[in-house]
Amino acid sequence: MTDTAPFFPPIEPYRHGMLQVDDVHAIYWEESGNPDGLPVLFLHGGPGGGTSPRHRCFFNPAHYRIVLFDQRGAGKSTPLGEYRNNSTPLLIEDIERLRSMLGIEQWLVFGGSWGSTLALAYGQAHPESCLGFILRGIFLCTPAEIDWFMNGIGWFFPEVHAEFASHVPEHERGDLLQAYRKRLFSDDPELYLPAARSWSRYEGRCLFLRPDLQAIDDFSADHVSLGIGRLEAHYFLHEGFFGEDQLIRGIGRIEHLPAVIVQGRYDVICPPKSAYRLHHAWPGAKLQVIGDAGHSGYEPGIASALIAATEQFRRSRSFA
Protein backbone atom coordinates (compact mmCIF):
# COMPACT_ATOMS: atom_id res chain seq x y z
CA MET A 1 0.00 0.00 0.00
CA THR A 2 1.42 3.34 -0.98
CA ASP A 3 2.27 5.81 1.77
CA THR A 4 1.15 8.79 -0.30
CA ALA A 5 -2.58 7.91 -0.26
CA PRO A 6 -4.71 8.69 2.83
CA PHE A 7 -5.71 5.16 3.77
CA PHE A 8 -7.12 4.49 7.20
CA PRO A 9 -4.93 2.36 9.50
CA PRO A 10 -5.03 -1.43 9.17
CA ILE A 11 -7.70 -3.13 11.28
CA GLU A 12 -8.78 -6.70 12.00
CA PRO A 13 -12.29 -8.13 11.63
CA TYR A 14 -14.37 -8.39 14.76
CA ARG A 15 -16.43 -11.19 13.19
CA HIS A 16 -15.96 -13.55 10.26
CA GLY A 17 -17.19 -16.88 8.98
CA MET A 18 -18.10 -19.12 6.08
CA LEU A 19 -21.59 -19.11 4.55
CA GLN A 20 -22.61 -22.28 2.70
CA VAL A 21 -24.61 -21.01 -0.27
CA ASP A 22 -25.21 -24.34 -2.07
CA ASP A 23 -23.91 -27.90 -2.21
CA VAL A 24 -20.68 -26.75 -3.88
CA HIS A 25 -19.78 -23.26 -2.65
CA ALA A 26 -19.05 -21.72 0.73
CA ILE A 27 -18.21 -18.02 0.80
CA TYR A 28 -15.92 -16.26 3.26
CA TRP A 29 -17.30 -13.10 4.90
CA GLU A 30 -16.08 -10.66 7.53
CA GLU A 31 -17.09 -7.53 9.40
CA SER A 32 -14.76 -4.83 10.71
CA GLY A 33 -14.97 -1.27 11.95
CA ASN A 34 -17.93 -0.09 14.05
CA PRO A 35 -20.69 -2.72 14.59
CA ASP A 36 -23.19 0.14 14.98
CA GLY A 37 -21.81 2.16 12.08
CA LEU A 38 -23.08 2.85 8.57
CA PRO A 39 -23.07 -0.48 6.69
CA VAL A 40 -20.90 -0.64 3.57
CA LEU A 41 -20.42 -3.63 1.26
CA PHE A 42 -17.09 -4.00 -0.55
CA LEU A 43 -17.22 -5.91 -3.85
CA HIS A 44 -13.85 -7.11 -5.15
CA GLY A 45 -12.72 -7.30 -8.74
CA GLY A 46 -11.80 -10.08 -11.09
CA PRO A 47 -14.08 -11.97 -11.25
CA GLY A 48 -12.11 -14.19 -8.91
CA GLY A 49 -9.81 -11.56 -7.38
CA GLY A 50 -10.81 -11.98 -3.74
CA THR A 51 -10.57 -9.50 -0.89
CA SER A 52 -7.50 -8.23 0.95
CA PRO A 53 -6.98 -6.69 4.41
CA ARG A 54 -6.09 -3.49 2.53
CA HIS A 55 -9.68 -3.20 1.32
CA ARG A 56 -10.84 -2.39 4.85
CA CYS A 57 -8.68 0.73 4.79
CA PHE A 58 -10.87 2.67 2.36
CA PHE A 59 -13.36 3.25 5.18
CA ASN A 60 -13.26 5.19 8.44
CA PRO A 61 -13.50 2.36 11.00
CA ALA A 62 -15.04 4.62 13.63
CA HIS A 63 -18.04 5.31 11.40
CA TYR A 64 -18.47 2.34 9.05
CA ARG A 65 -19.61 -1.22 9.57
CA ILE A 66 -17.38 -2.72 6.88
CA VAL A 67 -18.52 -5.92 5.19
CA LEU A 68 -16.15 -7.80 2.90
CA PHE A 69 -16.74 -11.18 1.30
CA ASP A 70 -15.02 -13.37 -1.26
CA GLN A 71 -17.27 -14.21 -4.19
CA ARG A 72 -17.78 -17.80 -5.29
CA GLY A 73 -14.49 -19.44 -6.23
CA ALA A 74 -12.35 -16.51 -5.02
CA GLY A 75 -10.03 -15.77 -2.11
CA LYS A 76 -10.90 -17.76 1.01
CA SER A 77 -14.17 -19.03 -0.46
CA THR A 78 -14.22 -22.69 -1.38
CA PRO A 79 -13.57 -24.41 -3.72
CA LEU A 80 -11.01 -21.96 -5.10
CA GLY A 81 -11.40 -21.36 -8.83
CA GLU A 82 -14.66 -23.31 -9.06
CA TYR A 83 -16.61 -22.06 -12.06
CA ARG A 84 -19.56 -24.44 -11.85
CA ASN A 85 -22.64 -23.01 -10.11
CA ASN A 86 -21.02 -19.61 -10.61
CA SER A 87 -22.91 -16.81 -12.35
CA THR A 88 -23.90 -13.20 -11.79
CA PRO A 89 -27.47 -14.03 -10.69
CA LEU A 90 -26.06 -16.47 -8.13
CA LEU A 91 -23.60 -13.87 -6.83
CA ILE A 92 -26.50 -11.45 -6.42
CA GLU A 93 -28.40 -14.10 -4.45
CA ASP A 94 -25.32 -14.59 -2.25
CA ILE A 95 -25.16 -10.86 -1.50
CA GLU A 96 -28.79 -10.75 -0.46
CA ARG A 97 -28.36 -13.88 1.67
CA LEU A 98 -25.38 -12.28 3.38
CA ARG A 99 -27.26 -9.01 3.96
CA SER A 100 -30.16 -10.88 5.52
CA MET A 101 -27.87 -13.04 7.69
CA LEU A 102 -26.12 -9.92 9.02
CA GLY A 103 -29.42 -8.17 9.74
CA ILE A 104 -28.61 -5.18 7.52
CA GLU A 105 -31.55 -3.33 5.98
CA GLN A 106 -29.58 -1.17 3.54
CA TRP A 107 -25.93 -0.57 2.75
CA LEU A 108 -23.62 1.58 0.69
CA VAL A 109 -22.18 -0.50 -2.17
CA PHE A 110 -18.51 0.02 -3.08
CA GLY A 111 -16.94 -1.82 -6.02
CA GLY A 112 -14.10 -1.47 -8.50
CA SER A 113 -13.50 -3.09 -11.90
CA TRP A 114 -15.62 -6.29 -11.91
CA GLY A 115 -16.78 -5.07 -8.50
CA SER A 116 -18.38 -2.10 -10.27
CA THR A 117 -20.10 -4.52 -12.65
CA LEU A 118 -21.50 -6.60 -9.82
CA ALA A 119 -22.47 -3.47 -7.85
CA LEU A 120 -24.55 -2.22 -10.78
CA ALA A 121 -26.13 -5.63 -11.37
CA TYR A 122 -26.92 -6.07 -7.68
CA GLY A 123 -28.30 -2.57 -7.35
CA GLN A 124 -30.55 -3.00 -10.36
CA ALA A 125 -31.84 -6.29 -8.95
CA HIS A 126 -32.30 -4.94 -5.40
CA PRO A 127 -32.42 -1.13 -5.38
CA GLU A 128 -34.35 -1.20 -2.11
CA SER A 129 -31.27 -2.68 -0.38
CA CYS A 130 -28.88 0.08 -1.50
CA LEU A 131 -28.08 3.48 0.03
CA GLY A 132 -25.80 4.53 -2.85
CA PHE A 133 -22.76 3.51 -4.84
CA ILE A 134 -19.03 4.23 -5.01
CA LEU A 135 -17.73 2.77 -8.28
CA ARG A 136 -14.19 2.63 -9.69
CA GLY A 137 -12.73 1.50 -13.02
CA ILE A 138 -16.04 0.87 -14.74
CA PHE A 139 -16.53 -2.45 -16.53
CA LEU A 140 -19.91 -3.07 -18.17
CA CYS A 141 -18.93 -6.54 -19.42
CA THR A 142 -19.93 -5.87 -23.02
CA PRO A 143 -18.43 -7.85 -25.92
CA ALA A 144 -16.37 -4.79 -26.94
CA GLU A 145 -14.80 -4.55 -23.47
CA ILE A 146 -14.06 -8.26 -23.37
CA ASP A 147 -12.42 -8.07 -26.79
CA TRP A 148 -10.40 -5.09 -25.59
CA PHE A 149 -9.07 -7.08 -22.64
CA MET A 150 -8.19 -10.09 -24.77
CA ASN A 151 -6.70 -8.15 -27.70
CA GLY A 152 -6.81 -4.36 -27.47
CA ILE A 153 -4.48 -4.07 -24.49
CA GLY A 154 -1.76 -5.11 -26.91
CA TRP A 155 -1.86 -1.63 -28.44
CA PHE A 156 -0.51 -0.23 -25.17
CA PHE A 157 1.36 -3.21 -23.74
CA PRO A 158 2.52 -5.08 -26.86
CA GLU A 159 5.26 -7.03 -25.10
CA VAL A 160 2.91 -8.07 -22.28
CA HIS A 161 0.21 -9.14 -24.72
CA ALA A 162 2.76 -11.04 -26.82
CA GLU A 163 3.83 -13.00 -23.74
CA PHE A 164 0.18 -13.71 -22.90
CA ALA A 165 -0.45 -15.00 -26.44
CA SER A 166 2.75 -17.05 -26.47
CA HIS A 167 1.29 -19.39 -23.86
CA VAL A 168 -0.83 -21.03 -26.59
CA PRO A 169 0.26 -22.45 -29.97
CA GLU A 170 0.44 -19.94 -32.79
CA HIS A 171 -2.43 -21.51 -34.72
CA GLU A 172 -4.78 -20.89 -31.74
CA ARG A 173 -3.90 -17.22 -31.19
CA GLY A 174 -6.70 -15.94 -33.44
CA ASP A 175 -9.12 -16.62 -30.55
CA LEU A 176 -7.25 -16.32 -27.28
CA LEU A 177 -10.34 -16.68 -25.12
CA GLN A 178 -11.18 -20.07 -26.60
CA ALA A 179 -7.53 -21.12 -26.54
CA TYR A 180 -7.31 -20.34 -22.82
CA ARG A 181 -10.69 -21.97 -22.21
CA LYS A 182 -9.29 -25.33 -23.33
CA ARG A 183 -6.52 -25.09 -20.77
CA LEU A 184 -8.12 -23.26 -17.85
CA PHE A 185 -11.04 -25.68 -17.57
CA SER A 186 -8.98 -28.83 -17.91
CA ASP A 187 -8.91 -31.20 -14.95
CA ASP A 188 -5.14 -31.48 -15.29
CA PRO A 189 -3.25 -29.03 -13.04
CA GLU A 190 -0.27 -29.22 -15.40
CA LEU A 191 -2.49 -27.54 -17.97
CA TYR A 192 -4.72 -25.23 -15.96
CA LEU A 193 -2.22 -23.85 -13.45
CA PRO A 194 0.29 -22.47 -16.02
CA ALA A 195 -2.60 -21.03 -18.03
CA ALA A 196 -4.05 -19.36 -14.93
CA ARG A 197 -0.64 -17.91 -13.99
CA SER A 198 -0.19 -16.53 -17.51
CA TRP A 199 -3.66 -14.96 -17.57
CA SER A 200 -3.37 -13.39 -14.13
CA ARG A 201 0.17 -12.11 -14.69
CA TYR A 202 -1.01 -10.49 -17.95
CA GLU A 203 -3.56 -8.49 -15.99
CA GLY A 204 -1.23 -7.71 -13.10
CA ARG A 205 1.37 -6.18 -15.41
CA CYS A 206 -1.17 -3.70 -16.81
CA LEU A 207 -2.87 -2.49 -13.63
CA PHE A 208 -0.82 0.59 -12.76
CA LEU A 209 0.17 3.71 -14.64
CA ARG A 210 3.69 3.00 -13.35
CA PRO A 211 4.61 -0.69 -12.97
CA ASP A 212 4.16 -2.14 -9.50
CA LEU A 213 6.39 -5.20 -9.02
CA GLN A 214 4.58 -6.32 -5.87
CA ALA A 215 1.25 -6.36 -7.70
CA ILE A 216 2.76 -8.46 -10.49
CA ASP A 217 4.11 -10.95 -7.93
CA ASP A 218 0.75 -11.06 -6.14
CA PHE A 219 -1.14 -11.75 -9.35
CA SER A 220 1.35 -14.51 -10.24
CA ALA A 221 0.72 -16.47 -7.03
CA ASP A 222 -1.28 -19.68 -7.49
CA HIS A 223 -3.88 -18.79 -4.82
CA VAL A 224 -4.67 -15.59 -6.74
CA SER A 225 -4.13 -16.64 -10.34
CA LEU A 226 -6.39 -19.71 -10.23
CA GLY A 227 -9.40 -17.64 -9.17
CA ILE A 228 -8.68 -14.80 -11.58
CA GLY A 229 -7.73 -16.91 -14.60
CA ARG A 230 -10.55 -19.41 -14.42
CA LEU A 231 -13.34 -17.07 -13.34
CA GLU A 232 -12.51 -14.17 -15.61
CA ALA A 233 -12.48 -16.54 -18.57
CA HIS A 234 -15.70 -18.18 -17.38
CA TYR A 235 -17.52 -14.87 -17.05
CA PHE A 236 -16.10 -13.54 -20.33
CA LEU A 237 -17.28 -16.65 -22.16
CA HIS A 238 -20.80 -15.96 -20.86
CA GLU A 239 -20.58 -12.17 -21.36
CA GLY A 240 -21.14 -11.71 -17.64
CA PHE A 241 -24.48 -13.55 -17.83
CA PHE A 242 -26.01 -10.28 -19.03
CA GLY A 243 -28.36 -9.35 -21.83
CA GLU A 244 -27.30 -6.82 -24.44
CA ASP A 245 -26.04 -3.66 -22.70
CA GLN A 246 -28.05 -4.73 -19.67
CA LEU A 247 -26.30 -2.52 -17.12
CA ILE A 248 -26.87 0.65 -19.14
CA ARG A 249 -30.46 -0.26 -19.99
CA GLY A 250 -31.23 -0.90 -16.32
CA ILE A 251 -29.95 2.41 -14.92
CA GLY A 252 -33.51 3.64 -14.40
CA ARG A 253 -33.84 1.28 -11.43
CA ILE A 254 -31.04 3.00 -9.49
CA GLU A 255 -30.76 6.50 -10.96
CA HIS A 256 -32.53 7.97 -7.92
CA LEU A 257 -29.68 6.82 -5.66
CA PRO A 258 -26.49 8.83 -5.04
CA ALA A 259 -23.35 7.60 -6.77
CA VAL A 260 -19.79 8.59 -7.50
CA ILE A 261 -17.71 7.13 -10.34
CA VAL A 262 -13.91 7.29 -10.06
CA GLN A 263 -11.99 6.51 -13.24
CA GLY A 264 -8.30 6.54 -14.09
CA ARG A 265 -7.61 8.47 -17.29
CA TYR A 266 -5.00 5.90 -18.39
CA ASP A 267 -6.86 2.78 -17.28
CA VAL A 268 -5.91 0.19 -19.88
CA ILE A 269 -7.79 -2.69 -18.22
CA CYS A 270 -11.13 -0.83 -18.19
CA PRO A 271 -10.80 2.14 -20.54
CA PRO A 272 -12.57 5.41 -19.62
CA LYS A 273 -15.20 5.14 -22.35
CA SER A 274 -17.23 2.77 -20.17
CA ALA A 275 -17.26 5.27 -17.31
CA TYR A 276 -18.30 7.96 -19.78
CA ARG A 277 -21.13 5.77 -21.09
CA LEU A 278 -22.32 5.05 -17.56
CA HIS A 279 -22.27 8.72 -16.60
CA HIS A 280 -24.08 9.69 -19.81
CA ALA A 281 -26.85 7.23 -18.91
CA TRP A 282 -26.78 8.28 -15.25
CA PRO A 283 -26.12 12.04 -15.21
CA GLY A 284 -27.02 12.23 -11.52
CA ALA A 285 -23.90 10.22 -10.70
CA LYS A 286 -20.76 12.26 -10.05
CA LEU A 287 -17.87 11.35 -12.40
CA GLN A 288 -14.27 11.99 -11.33
CA VAL A 289 -11.54 11.26 -13.90
CA ILE A 290 -8.12 10.98 -12.27
CA GLY A 291 -5.55 12.40 -14.69
CA ASP A 292 -2.47 10.58 -13.42
CA ALA A 293 -3.77 7.06 -12.81
CA GLY A 294 -4.33 3.70 -14.44
CA HIS A 295 -6.64 0.97 -13.16
CA SER A 296 -5.65 0.15 -9.60
CA GLY A 297 -7.63 1.42 -6.64
CA TYR A 298 -4.33 1.81 -4.78
CA GLU A 299 -2.92 4.51 -7.05
CA PRO A 300 -2.75 7.71 -5.00
CA GLY A 301 -5.18 9.84 -6.99
CA ILE A 302 -7.78 7.11 -7.23
CA ALA A 303 -7.43 6.09 -3.59
CA SER A 304 -7.75 9.70 -2.47
CA ALA A 305 -10.94 10.17 -4.49
CA LEU A 306 -12.46 6.93 -3.22
CA ILE A 307 -11.71 7.72 0.41
CA ALA A 308 -13.00 11.27 0.02
CA ALA A 309 -16.23 9.75 -1.34
CA THR A 310 -16.60 7.39 1.63
CA GLU A 311 -16.06 10.30 4.00
CA GLN A 312 -18.50 12.57 2.21
CA PHE A 313 -21.17 9.89 2.08
CA ARG A 314 -21.02 9.03 5.77
CA ARG A 315 -21.30 12.74 6.63
CA SER A 316 -24.17 13.63 4.31
CA ARG A 317 -25.47 10.38 2.77
CA SER A 318 -24.86 11.89 -0.67
CA PHE A 319 -22.10 13.05 -3.02
CA ALA A 320 -23.67 16.39 -3.94
Among 267, 279, 296, 304, the active-site one is 267
∠ Cα 237 238 243 (to 5°) = 140
DSSP designation for 137: S
Catalytic (active site) residue 113: yes
Annotated catalytic residue 274: no
- The sign of the CA dihedral 121, 122, 124, 130 is negative
DSSP 8-state secondary structure symbol assigned to residue 78: B
**DSSP summary character for residue 65:** E
Q: Which amino acid is at 83?
A: Y
d(CA 121, CA 250): 9
Question: Which residue from 258, 265, 315 is spatially nearest to 62, judged by alpha carbons?
Answer: 315
Is there a catalytic annotation at residue 55? no
Pick the catalytic residue from 77, 113, 225, 304: 113
44, 295, 296, 304: the catalytic one is 295
Q: In whole angstroms, give the CA distance from residue 70 to residue 64.
A: 19
What's the CA gap between 259 and 284, in Å, rounded?
8
Burial class (CB in 10 A: 0-12, 13-18, 19+), 239: middle
Active-site positions read 113, 267, 295
